[in-house]
Chains A and B, each alone.
Chain A
Amino acid sequence: MKKILKLKKDTRKNLITYGMIILAFLIVRFLSASGNISSAFRGQLVPICVYIVMAVSLNLTVGILGELSLGHAGFMSLGAFTGVIAAIILQGSVSNPLRLAIAMVLGAVIAGIAGLVVGVPALRLRGDYLAIVTLAFGEIIKNIINTLYVGIGENGFRISMVNAESLNLGERGTVIMNGPMGAVGIPKLATFASGFILIMVTLFIVLNLQNSRSGRAIMAVRDNRIAAESVGISVTRYKLMAFIISATLAGAAGALYALNFSTVVARKFDFNTSILILVFVVLGGMGNIRGSIIAATVLTVLPELLRAFNNYRMLLYAVILILVMLVSNNEQLKNMTKKFKGFFKIKRPSDLKGGTARE
């Protein structure tokens, strides 16, 4: 106990976040083993993991870097289809977990490269330009993938933008992506455990980055660009760094998402999905990683729980969103929680006198 109290505040906060995820994983595992989980909820497990990763990675751009991105689903989409292509090509040559890992890494790399291409021109600008460019990026990616025909057959790997016949795959060929019909015949490689691992990796990367030299530079750019430049921090470099890491993680999440279903269409990753992820971030609190995790989980489960109200489902969803916004911004409630926190607060040496927390 004493040792935990002596840890730095940030370290303690991070350990609680990791612990929360591990605990949730173990509880779900236990309930699942004892048959206490409905099949509907079991189907939600991987999407929940994916949305947590999406929310945490977008929080890196929106909360920690302070730039608005409206096309996060575009990176997810790139990762998803890259992952599907990789998984189908590798069919039969490597074991399933390894195939999933390779698909996620490739999805992450391609999304990261897209992040670089979008970020280099957009992040050099000031103001809301990144929001506009990422918004357009998401739409462009969706429309390109909608016209893309990809297959593997006698002549090897083929890409076309006309139709599936023009791929010339031969008798035993498989069409991987069929234009607006999306990717079909996807092997279901994603598991809850792999989702859990991806969350842990994401948290490891984002939390470690946040409490480091690079992360501090990123937050300095957010807080005051002019002051950051005046102390010798290259603003464009650190903006790009945060944006690319964010895109990379979204790509990995996209691959995991796609490999959880038998078919995936590009329309799934549209503007609405980008906004949904942004809602997770805003609701969970900008820069608050744990908040993003909770918001993503609750808001993914909520529409399913509200299925009983059927017609009023989306109405209730909206009302709950508005209520949460009102409550979380209410001065009086904030003061009450503050008092509540103060009552239970454990006195640490660093609260009384600074500089001793590290020793």
Chain B
Amino acid sequence: MSSRLLKTPMVPFPSRAIIPARDLDKPPILEVSRLGIDFGGLAAVDDFSIIIGRTEIAGLIGPNGAGKTTVFNLLTKVYQPSSGAILLDGKDTSGMNTVQINKAGIARTFQNIRLFSSLTVEDNVRIGLHNHLNSNVFFDIFRLPGYWKSERQAHQMTLELLSIFGMEHMIHYKAGSLPYGAQRRLEIVRALATKPKLLLLDEPAAGMNPSETEELMRNIIEIRDALGIAILLIEHDMKLVMGICEGIAVLNYGRIIAKGTAEEIQTNDEVIEAYLGEKKEA
């Protein structure tokens, strides 16, 4: 399934950055240069630079506490970076807040699932569709035609989005009552509902069994192919990362220690050292 992807030739883009050859003729979706943040003098992320192609599936890996989720929080402006620049689709994002970032085209999921757990599956997806529905509070309260049109549209789009994971039958369930794997999938659906250009997945396979992970890998590729979006994911499951990620960046102590394809990362000495510890001199 993933062999096709692994054979994609990776080409240096401006300088040493790599993106899939098929995305070369289009400007990259995300350009991050020298991004950094420090919390009270401690540099949580430092000198972080990556480039992600239009339809690339990229991976961000690293040991626990390396700063991977902090990178996501910086990209979505949960934290304001203390240095560096983020260009989304060629546009500077400095000064934007989380809401504006989402409207500009980045959607994300969370490592510790953050669903609207007291609401139904349908409501969760419809909340994701919020900025793509045309009703307003006046239409809503007085049930004017604009309300009904927007609700019909929302229902249709919700079913379409849920069909990605075959979850249409769960539409009336409470989000909090779903099994763990389904909650993770619902979070992805909700993120996709905002029609992003770049999807950030924070440990999408956490807590999934091997067969669920296998299916998730297929789903991620399907989403990319169907919607033509870029995906950046954080994951500890190496089978998933090595299986579907075209470009991988390895983070350790807030710094990128290696970038490359799966093969390059697997044979990189510094990466092996970061994960397994220093090689003992004989």
Residues of A within 8 A of B (CB): 9, 204-205, 208-209, 212-217, 219-220, 223-224, 226-235, 241, 350, 353-355, 357-358
Contacts and interface: CB of A to CB of B under 8 A. Distances in A.
Contacts of A212: 135, 137, 140-141, 147, 151
24 contacts: A205-B141, A209-B140, A212-B137, A213-B133, A213-B147, A216-B123, A216-B126, A219-B119, A219-B123, A224-B114, A227-B114, A228-B127, A232-B99, A232-B130, A232-B194, A233-B99, A234-B99, A235-B99, A241-B137, A354-B168, A354-B172, A354-B173, A355-B171, A358-B155
Contacts of B155: 358
Contacts of B131: 232
Contacts of A227: 110, 114-116
A231 B194 contact: yes
A169 B171 CA distance: 66
Given A223-B118, A223-B119, A227-B115, A215 B169 contact: no
Main secondary structure of the interface of A (DSSP, over half): helix
A230 B191 CA distance: 8
Contacts of A230: 76, 98, 102, 107-108, 110, 114, 191
Nearest to B77: A229
Contacts of A234: 99
- Which of B78, B133, B135, B171 counts the most chain A CB atoms within 10 A? B171
Nearest to B172: A354
A231 B118 contact: no
B137 A214 contact: yes
B136 interface: yes
B151 to A, nearest CB: 8
Contact of A355 (B97, B114, B154, B159): B159
Given A230-B98, A232-B102, A241-B137, A216 B119 contact: yes
Given A230-B102, A230-B108, A353-B169, A213 B116 contact: no
A208 B138 CA distance: 10
Interface string B260-281: 0000000000000000000000
B168 A233 contact: no
Contact of A231 (B107, B168, B173): B107
Contacts of B172: 9, 350, 354-355, 357
Nearest to A227: B114
A286 to B, nearest CB: 10
Contacts of B173: 354
A220 B118 CA distance: 9
